[in-house]
Amino acid sequence: MKKIAIVGAGFSGAVIAHELAKAGYQLEVFDSRSHVAGNCHSQCDPETGVMVHTYGPHIFHTSNEKVWNYVRQFDEFMPYTNRVKAITKGRVFSLPVNLLTINQFFGKTFNPREAEAFLASIGDQSISDPKTFEEQALRFVGKDLYEAFFKGYTTKQWGMHPSELPASILKRLPVRFNYDDNYYASNFQGMPKNGYTFIVEKMLDHPGIQLHLGTTFERESAGDYDHVFYSGPIDTWFGYSQGRLGYRTLDFESETHDGDYQGNAVLNYCDEDVPWTRISEHKHFSPWESHEKTVIFKEYSRFCEENDIPYYPIRLVKDKSQLKQYIELALAERNITFVGRLGTYRYLDMHVTIAEALDVAEQFLARAGGSEPMPSFTVNPLG
């Protein structure tokens, strides 16, 4: 039986470990942190009893029924709809931009057809092929909505002007010509009753899995194993030989208050002169619970330095050039597969991470006993 190491006890590593352990493999899972679940880690706040998302809010949503059924093996998922509000210029609106947002902002009573025609009329039609975030916004929502909801927030989130960012970032933010204020358009959405850490702990609770927390896996140790699945930062694996890949990181300022602080789980602050990007009130992520006190996180975004936790890969031209060099190095490795958000330097939602991890496990098991080696990547990191 092959000796397998998995680096990282987030969703990527936990899913792969669980699937291979079920198939009879013995695995060792390593994580440099003192807990499992990576950035999805959740824990009960001892003072208030509120389930806190330690590294910022995570809402589970997917249209992949296989993934939805898979995660519900490990915990009950409670009904939850993510309804984000935004404060701009002293007023509160619903996000994503929808028919209510448009009518409130412009003081109108448009129906869907009228609102669509109105946005088309105020959009910059001279921009036929938007290349940047700013051009994309000006083309499709016009100057006023762009400056109110996107310009300041994006500048704070990414640390650069929207004219420096690719248009693809804005494509994740839809405009709706109805009153649907559900932030996601996925078929399934919910929150695990006992938190994400509970799910990952159950995934790793198998006699075939040996867990090493607070333990950094060194590259030199890879030779002790028949195969390594690595979900850490790809540039770390190669000792930053091609330079550090760019990430944004987050700082959280936690406060405890009595009662209800803001009446909603997430409030975006779109004005650039407000230093934080958003405030999350964690008890609203568990609306089936009741708490007298409340915990909020003010969230600040900045460039990721050497000892920070990486959150969002920046993936601008310089970063992609470095990534190509790391991919070439990775392809020359043997018996190691790079997986997950950090291992492939891509922004991944939880459901995508889980789907890809299931596919990795299936591919490994399909190759078991054969001569075809497991590839360095099962997805194209530049895709």
Point out the residues that are catalytic.
Answer: 172, 176, 248, 278, 299, 347, 349
| Side-chain half-sphere exposure of 307, counting CA atoms within 13 A | 0
Cis amide leading into 96 (omega within 30): yes
* Neighbour count for residue 168 (Cβ, 10 Å): 13
Cβ pair 18, 203 in contact under 8 A: yes
For the four alpha carbons of 54, 56, 59 and 65, in that order, the dihedral sign comes to negative
Distance from C-alpha of 227 to C-alpha of 16, rounded to nearest angstrom:
12
H/E stretch holding 87:
strand 84-88
Q: What DSSP designation does 245 have? A: P
H/E stretch holding 29:
strand 26-31
Pairing of strands 3-7, 336-338: unpaired
Distance from C-alpha of 120 to C-alpha of 115, rounded to nearest angstrom:
9
Pairing of strands 227-230, 336-338: parallel
Residue positions counted in the chain: 383
Distance from C-alpha of 79 to C-alpha of 190, rounded to nearest angstrom:
5
Cα separations (Å) of 251 from 94, 269, 303, 350? 25, 15, 11, 21
H/E stretch holding 188:
strand 188-192
Cβ pair 58, 80 in contact under 8 A: no
What secondary structure does DSSP assign to 145-179, as a single string? HIIIIIIHHHHHHHSS-GGGSBGGGGGGS---SSS
Would you call 120 helix, strand, or coil by DSSP?
helix
Distance linking the first and last C-alpha atoms of the chain: 34
